[in-house]
Amino acid sequence: MIEIIPAIDIIDGKCVRLSQGDYERKTIYNEDPLEVARMFEDHGIRRLHVVDLDGAKAHHIINYKTLERLATKTQLIIDFGGGLKSDDDLRIAFECGAKMITGGSIAVKQPEIFLSWIEKYGSEHIILGADVKNKKISVGGWLEDTGEELLPFVRNYKGKGIDKVICTDISRDGMLTGPSIGLYTEILEDMEDLYLIASGGVSSMQDIERLQEAGIPAVIFGKAIYEGKISLNDLTKFIVNA
């Protein structure tokens, strides 16, 4: 069964969503992310993807108090990303309750630091973030194109111990236009034992079912829930029937 991972993106301690990573195209869905997280938990969800969008822009962790509330007041398994650039950022994230962290920009800009995290915490706690536009990696909250090709980038880190990757198609994120199944299939054909987490574009339960049929291990999505395209009851039924 495909693993269901709702996303909570945070700006100023609030639950928001951006369109294509554009901070100027922000929608606030709830003033209290904990309320949203508890709602997910009540419907059988066990995993949560939390992104500190303020941190991504500032290049250091900012919304760690919100992370701590989510981790201490729910039983959800949280992976956390956004602005993690130093050993101190990582320490704070884990101390505040993250079970896993996602590193994207750091893996491109300072690979020696990212590799040291894998060695120190183990690959079970470190996820590689591969944010993609036209099959090239983007960093800095998607504000900077690197020109680095997706497959060699992921393949390199897989060879160094990474086994979990979140791949976000920036062109589809927050657009509700459907996921890039062809892209994810291409990645898994190249690295079939990779735990690939698809992200971006999910607009319906049918999209999730298509990802599952394609053999994608996990999916992250948010806007489809917040805008009523996917109901929590539908997710509960999907989880129960799987």
Q: What are the CA-CA distances from residue 46 to residues 6, 75, 89, 140, 206 (Å)? A: 9, 8, 25, 28, 21
From the candidates 9, 52, 54, 207, give the one annotated as an active-site residue: 9
Comparing C-alpha atoms, which of 82, 135, 131, 133 is closest to residue 108? 131
The 3-state DSSP class for residue 116 equals helix
Residue 127 in contact with residue 166, Cβ under 8 Å?
yes
Catalytic status, residue 79: no
Q: For residue 234, what are the β-bridge partners?
A: none
Given the structure tokens 């992310």, which residue do they identify?
Answer: 33
Q: What are the CA-CA distances from residue 233 to residues 45, 62, 122, 204, 236 (Å)? A: 11, 33, 35, 13, 5
From the candidates 52, 54, 79, 131, give the one annotated as an active-site residue: 131
Catalytic status, residue 131: yes
Q: Which residues are catalytic?
A: 9, 131
